[in-house]
Amino acid sequence: MNIGELAKRTGLTPSRIRFYESAGLLQTVARRPNGYRTFSPEAMLALELITTAQQVGFSLDEIRVLLPATGDDWNHDALLAALRRKVGEIESLEARLARSKAQLMGLMRDVESRPGDADNLSDARRVLSRVLSKLD
């Protein structure tokens, strides 16, 4: 199939497909005498794997290492290790985000509990003092 057909079937633009090919993620394909690329049906699967891996957080470099040269060359152990590593990274990110959210929620409560007679400068000092005390 040509690049236009592949683009239509995968929902990717031809330029994105050419980019993946030039980045070494998609096998370079033979060209017909007219210069058009001819892609095999396996190219669809490779592109689906690439886009899915990107959606779940893998970088192009990580994907390049994991993709087999052919569909039969999957390194099961390496793939499983990479998936576990990515889950660990996501869990770490979730924990950091939860801590950040808790700090922001506390800061919002501090700002909302401003004494009615406090001026802006005094209130800013009060809130800053509480924030700094929590950092110790």
Identify the domain containing residue 15 by its residue range: 1-74
Per-residue model confidence (pLDDT) at position 59: 94
CA–CA gap between residue 65 and residue 108 (Å, rounded)? 44
Q: What is the pLDDT of residues 60-101, one digit of tens each?
A: 999 988 887 666 677 888 889 999 999 999 999 999 999 999
- Considering only residues 19 and 66, tell me which one the structure prediction assigns the higher pLDDT: 19
Q: What is the pLDDT of residues 21-73, one digit of tens each?
A: 999 898 877 788 888 888 888 899 999 999 999 999 999 999 988 887 666 67
Please tell me whether residues 44 and 98 are part of one structural domain: no
Nearest to 64 by CA among 19, 25, 21: 25
Q: Which CATH number does the domain housing residue 24 bear?
A: 1.10.1660.10
The model's pTM is: 0.68
